Structure 1
């Protein structure tokens, strides 16, 4: 058995998109749980990897994305979960954290065989990332209180699909094991 990594999906966000107002209440609920996972992972020496959209800003680097989000109108959602100096960062262009990114290579180099996925959006990026992790034979854990959704009914269905169809462990942030 290898080791675990905590992957934070799309939490560096300006919330300047059509579904933002539907998403924000769920993000507000999830942020304290994401913070708890970050603290636990960092204190245990578990790799923390941020996988984040670049929002079409192809000349941007991760520091610029963080600065832009922190300067945005929802900085209170970004500040508590921002990467620290030890965090790793992967830029993604589409829904899955694996699609056209070096994440598979990075996880292999780190000896990771278990990913704990947190972030947003449960029924989109988290779901597709969990599927891509599953087909790569990675064990997947989803702390349901540390993922945010746009549509609660779709998020509930996505969590059920991840558990039943992909063998993901659905738990809470406090019960998640690295």
Structure 2
């Protein structure tokens, strides 16, 4: 019997004379990590990690945020823990989803409310605007600006999704991809933790996914109270907070 589907996990069995709608069974891979106030156990076999906006425009000294005077030190903080965590997750067959801004050159799917971000006076300093001596465009799909920072290795099997809002679920194929992966638990990492990470995590929680914010693998250039509020609200309303370092320790046992 052949498998019919874009992923093995979400495939039918097919022959010339029959179709089986039974999906392949997957052996659970339970793993436990510390979390407050309870230890958290989840199934690695039904888990993916979503890494959000670790892009040059946010995390590089020649990128957009740095060019408008934002201190990007915090945005670079997730790089080192992700360098350790992502290869280990791949070894355990956990899908890595890179969810990044990647805007159309004509910006036709971006409403004024999105363009207003970081450009409140309409001075052509925001998304899609030229930045730097090379006249690069902020977060434009295919540009250096929108590329993932060089310090993070991207593997051929990784999954890439471009987004156009704070949440990665609007006007993107993210939900369809996650359904085909047949995952229940989503690990969240990247920047900014109180903006695009939280917005995507909130929508994921509303869609019924089990959401875990990896606090040392996420950060924000916003004031500290924004990060504190994010952690509180994730724990209180949308999911759980753990660390990538604790997950690495558990995976190495």
TM-score range, shorter chain: 0.7 to 0.9
Out of 64, 72, 90, the position equivalent to 1:17 is 64
| Structure 1 equivalent of residue 101 of structure 2 | 53
Out of 89, 106, 114, the position equivalent to 1:41 is 89
* Pair 1:156 & 2:199 matched: no
CA distance in 2, matches of 1:23, 1:145: 18
CA distance in 2, matches of 1:98, 1:83: 22
Confirm or deny: 8 A CA contact 1:121 1:147 kept in the other structure.
yes
Indicate how the Cα distance of structure 1 residues 90 and 98 shifts in structure 2: closer, same or farther if over 3 A, else same: same
Indicate how the Cα distance of structure 1 residues 103 and 23 shifts in structure 2: closer, same or farther if over 3 A, else same: farther
What is the TM-score of this pair, normalised by structure 1?
0.83
CA distance in 2, matches of 1:141, 1:134: 10
| Structure 2 equivalent of residue 30 of structure 1 | 78
Instruction: Map 1:129-144; keep pairs closer than 5 Å.
Output: 129-144=200-215
Indicate how the Cα distance of structure 1 residues 133 and 23 shifts in structure 2: closer, same or farther if over 3 A, else same: farther
How many residue pairs match? The answer is 168
Deviation at 1:131, TM superposition (A): 0.6
Q: Cα deviations across residues 56-108 of structure 1 (Å, max 9, x unaligned)?
A: 546965xx34xx1498xxxxx81122422111100000101111111111101
Out of 47, 55, 77, the position equivalent to 1:4 is 47
CA distance in 2, matches of 1:21, 1:150: 11
Task: Specify the SS of the correspondent of 1:162.
Answer: helix
Confirm or deny: 8 A CA contact 1:70 1:79 kept in the other structure.
no
| Structure 2 equivalent of residue 79 of structure 1 | 150
Q: Which of 1 and 2 has higher RCO (CA within 8 Å, sep 6+)?
A: 1
Unaligned ranges ≥5, structure 1: 72-76
Unaligned ranges ≥5, structure 2: 1-42, 108-139
CA distance in 2, matches of 1:147, 1:69: 20
User: What's the Cα RMSD here?
Assistant: 2.5
